[in-house]
Amino acid sequence: MSPVLETRGLDKSFGSLAVARNIGIALPRGVRYALIGPNGAGKTTLINLMTGMLHPDGGQIMLDGEDITALGPEERVRRGLVRTFQINSLFPHLNPLEAVTLTICERERIARTWWRPTSDYRAAIDEAYGILDSLMLGPVCTRETRELPYGQQRLLEIALALATRPKVLLLDEPAAGVPREESSELFTAITSLSQDITVLFIEHDMELVFRLASRIIVMVGGGILLEGTPEEISADPRVREVYLGGAHG
């Protein structure tokens, strides 16, 4: 089966610092990938390259067999390549219902209409509420985002991404900063994502990685060291040396 997202020979340097070296990965549909590696390995840079927030110096990005390297971030999202942020990037003074409805209105291209109230678009609101409810945000959907506990804001990050109907979802440390006792809702949310969606997530928490990922990509120094199943990765001596060994003893 052809991959839904593929990169070929991606390169990116900031001055003399190579942050991406010849990155080639191919993600088949519906697979859960974890992207791991020590700090500064270029994981977030790779996500920025794939989503168009950075332009590569060389190489190609293919989504569903189409070259999207030249497209802007908005256009890539419209085609189904969507990300969340490591540091919450939400709409503080909107409530979750408004934020997700906004995303759906933009997706459906009804965001240009200014003569009809948003409340007339009942299907969009129903869909927004459905997404929020599936992420256990239903009861708080009318509270302002900035008032929500941190864990719920992390869930809203995912809700916004889901509202764009992604084919590929790139989660940048979805559980970053969430206390362990609050993270179970987040795990549930990620495991129960539709199997049509391909997920690539960056995560430092190895327990989470081994629980959620069916395949793991290890990055070191801007390049890909290894790709394989969790068993292969944890057994590999090189990985132990650069990552697991150092960080988790």
Partner 1 sequence: MTPTDPATAAPAPTAPHPHMAAQVRWRTVEYVFWLATLLPFVVAPDYLALASQIAITALFALSLDLILGYAGIVSLGHAAFFGFGAYAAGLVSKWGWGEPLSGLLIAGLAAGLLGYLMSFVIARFRHLALIMITLGFGLLLLEAANSASGLTGGADGLQGVKMWPVLGLFKFDLYGFTAYWYALIVLFVFFLMARRLINSPFGLSLRGIRENPVRMRAIGAESGPHIRKIYTIAAFMAGVAGAVLTQTTETVSLGVLDFQRSADILVILILGGAGRLYGGLIGAIIYMIARDWFSGVNPQYWYFPIGVLLIAVVLFLPNGMLGGIAQLIDTVRGRRWFGWLTSPPPWLRSGSKP
Told to check if 176 binds partner 1 by CB under 8 A, we report: no
**Cβ-contact 222, 18 below 8 angstroms:** yes
Q: Which residues in the 113-142 window bind partner 1 by CB under 8 A?
A: 113-119, 121-122, 124-126, 128-129, 138-142
Q: How far apart are CA 127 and CA 148, in angstroms?
A: 21
- Smallest distance from partner 1 to CB 51, Å: 7
Told to check if 39 binds partner 1 by CB under 8 A, we report: no
Residue 8, judged by CB atoms within 10 A of its CB (0-12, 13-18, 19+), counts as middle
**What is the C-alpha end-to-end distance of the chain, expressed in Å?**
38
C-alpha radius of gyration, the chain, whole number: 18
Strand partners, 228: 216
- Smallest distance from partner 1 to CB 97, Å: 6
Told to check if 163 binds partner 1 by CB under 8 A, we report: yes
Judged by CB under 8 A, the residue of 45, 101, 152, 153 near partner 1 is: 101
- Number of residues binding to partner 1, judged by CB under 8 A: 52
E-strand stretches of the chain: 5-14, 17-27, 32-36, 58-63, 66-67, 81-83, 168-172, 198-202, 215-220, 223-228
Told to check if 228 binds partner 1 by CB under 8 A, we report: no
Judged by CB under 8 A, the residue of 55, 146, 238, 248 near partner 1 is: 146
Judged by CB under 8 A, the residue of 49, 54, 63, 97 near partner 1 is: 97
Nearer to partner 1, 121 or 243 (CB): 121
Q: How far apart are CA 79 and CA 168, in angstroms?
A: 9
Query: Which residues lie near partner 1 (CB under 8 A)?
Result: 51, 72-75, 77-78, 82-83, 85, 89-94, 97-99, 101-103, 105-107, 110-119, 121-122, 124-126, 128-129, 138-142, 146, 160-161, 163-164
